[in-house]
């Protein structure tokens, strides 16, 4: 296998999580009786451009199916984040009725609905029918396709280049990152702006967030590597924000290479921080496997101790990161009764691999578990506040990453 960006032979394994099904491939009761598709879940690091990437096995159309179950609007924290972004970027770029905004991987319209409300013309590009339908019900125009160079050039030929192209948590999800980036170049108006948000590789390593590894994430990105990918397509990064979302993300601001805007000091400062951390040194990557194993082992010890003590453990949040953790640790229903999720699209299904049932949050009151393990640890505060009633019967909340621990009453 060669690097997806620079085509260098990949010789170094960053992380090997064995075999796992796609993390968002939730199962119906009938599908439990059928064979389940598993793929290797292994990451390599390129010693030339430092792109961390999955094995070339799963295809995008196998992962992002018509019945895709992840709906962005399920999390109020994420909705608030999107609304703040729209307000801030609209002021910064002076977007209005004469502007045009494209969001790639627009999901259920969680973000673009804010532009619709503000009277800013926009277009969502979203290949999964389930979420695209939800967006259209909100009045968000949606094109049901995968984005790449061909679509970017088609939009340009239709005189539909954008003043702003937004992509939240999509840049890491595309199998051909060069083709996607060339599509950004083609669809961007002269003087236009690209903003991409993605989990920061430095935070993944530094905070042991190995559960954010799953097949839908084809790439794990640093600012250094994104600059190289942008440059190869005739784009450049002129600003960057560090965000708390998803355990630590970056929002990069891109433009055409010939754009007159000068880079902000934040770009050089973050590149220097990545260098100090060691993101361009192999030992930083080759020692990560043991940290993931420590999380797995800690979770298993904890769950076994609860079982032996006669305590009931349930989970909250049928998130992809939770599926990575549970499948790597081999956790089944004998250790975890069920997982609650607020998304109606997931309720009544079963987690891929572990086959733990997904139920509505009301089941917590019914079963009164002693421990609720919050799988999407990035929104642990939100979940523990929304379901604080668990403490009425002496129940407690826990997270497993970066290590197993009980949460205090503030959700920390």
Distance of CA 83 to the CA centre of its chain: 18
- Biggest CA-to-CA distance, the chain: 66
Q: What rounded mean pLDDT belongs to the chain?
A: 94
Give the pLDDT mean for 171-178: 95
Give the pLDDT mean for 374-385: 94
How far are the Cα atoms of 132, 143, 240, 396 from residue 151, in angstroms, in the given order? 17, 10, 26, 49
Give the pLDDT mean for 363-392: 96
Lowest mean pLDDT among 52-56, 278-282, 322-326: 52-56
Q: Provide the pLDDT for residue 78.
A: 87
Q: Provide the pLDDT for residue 66.
A: 45
Would the pLDDT of 408 be above 90? no
Distance from first CA to last CA of the chain, Å, rounded?
Answer: 41
pLDDT tens per residue across span 126-153? 998 889 999 999 999 999 999 999 999 9
Q: How far apart are CA 272 and CA 361, in angstroms?
A: 44
> What tokens appear for 148 in the block?
């790449």
Q: Provide the pLDDT for residue 304.
A: 98
Per-position DSSP letters for 6-38, written without gaps between them: T-PBP-EEEEEEEEE--TT--B-TGGGGS----
Give the pLDDT mean for 292-306: 97
Would the pLDDT of 67 be above 50? no
Q: Do 146-286 and 289-406 come out as alike in CATH topology?
A: yes
pLDDT tens per residue across span 333-346? 999 999 999 989 89
pLDDT tens per residue across span 81-94? 999 999 999 999 99
Would the pLDDT of 68 be above 50? no
The correct answer on CATH 3.30.300.180 for the domain covering 289-406 is no
pLDDT tens per residue across span 4-36? 999 999 999 999 999 999 888 899 999 999 999
Going by pLDDT thresholds of 50, 70 and 90, the confidence category of residue 75 is confident
Would the pLDDT of 192 be above 70? yes
Q: Provide the pLDDT for residue 55.
A: 85
Give the pLDDT mean for 258-264: 98
User: What's the CATH code, domain 146-286?
Assistant: 3.40.50.150
In percent, how much of the chain has pLDDT > 70? 95
Q: Provide the pLDDT for residue 57.
A: 61
Identify which of 160, 168, 169 has the alpha carbon closest to the alpha carbon of residue 187.
160
Q: Provide the pLDDT for residue 132.
A: 92
Residue predicted with more confidence, 77 or 286: 286
Would the pLDDT of 69 be above 80? no
How does strand 162-168 pair with strand 188-199?
Answer: parallel
Per domain, the residue ranges of the chain are 146-286, 289-406
220 phi, psi to nearest 5 deg = -130, 120
What contacts 96, CB < 8 A, 6 or more positions away? Answer: 90, 119, 120
């Amino acid at each position: 296998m060669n690097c997806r960006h620079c085509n260098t032979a990949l010789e170094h394994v960053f992380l090997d999580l064995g075999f796992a099904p796609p993390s968002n491939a939730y199962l119906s009761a009938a599908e439990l009786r059928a064979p389940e598709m598993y793929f290797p879940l292994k990451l390599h690091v390129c010693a030339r451009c430092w792109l961390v990437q999955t094995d070339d096995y799963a295809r995008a159309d196998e992962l992002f199916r018509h019945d895709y179950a992840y709906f962005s609007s399920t999390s109020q924290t994420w909705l608030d984040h999107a609304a703040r972004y729209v307000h801030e970027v609209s002021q910064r770029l002076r977007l209005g009725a004469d502007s045009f905004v494209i969001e790639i991987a627009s999901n259920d319209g969680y973000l673009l609905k804010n532009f619709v409300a503000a009277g800013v013309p926009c277009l969502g590009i979203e290949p999964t029918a389930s979420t695209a339908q939800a967006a259209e019900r909100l009045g968000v125009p949606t094109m049901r396709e995968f984005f790449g160079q061909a679509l970017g050039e088609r939009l340009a030929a239709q005189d539909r280049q954008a003043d702003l192209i937004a992509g939240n948590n999509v840049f890491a999800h595309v199998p051909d990152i060069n083709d996607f980036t060339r599509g950004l170049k083609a669809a961007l108006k002269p003087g236009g702006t690209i903003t991409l948000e993605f989990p920061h590789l430095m935070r993944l390593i530094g905070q042991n967030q190995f559960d954010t590894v799953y097949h839908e994430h084809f790439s794990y990105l640093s600012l250094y590597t994104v600059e190289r990918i942008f440059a190869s397509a005739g784009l450049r990064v002129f600003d960057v924000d560090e965000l708390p979302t998803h355990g630590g993300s970056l929002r990069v601001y891109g433009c055409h290479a010939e754009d007159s805007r000068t880079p902000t000091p934040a770009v050089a400062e973050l590149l220097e921080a990545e260098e100090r951390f060691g993101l361009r040194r192999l030992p930083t990557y080759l020692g990560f496997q043991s940290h993931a194993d420590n999380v797995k082992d800690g979770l298993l010890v904890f769950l076994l101790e609860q079982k032996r003590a006669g305590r009931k453990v349930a989970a909250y949040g049928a998130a992809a990161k939770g599926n990575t953790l549970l499948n790597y640790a081999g956790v089944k229903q004998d250790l975890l009764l069920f997982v609650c999720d607020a998304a109606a699209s997931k309720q009544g299904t079963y987690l891929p691999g572990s086959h733990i049932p997904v139920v509505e949050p009301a089941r917590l009151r019914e079963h009164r578990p002693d421990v609720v393990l919050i799988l999407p640890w990035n929104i642990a505060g939100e979940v523990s506040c929304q379901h604080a009633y668990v403490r009425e019967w002496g129940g407690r909340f826990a997270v497993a990453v970066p290590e197993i621990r009980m949460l205090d009453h503030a959700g920390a």
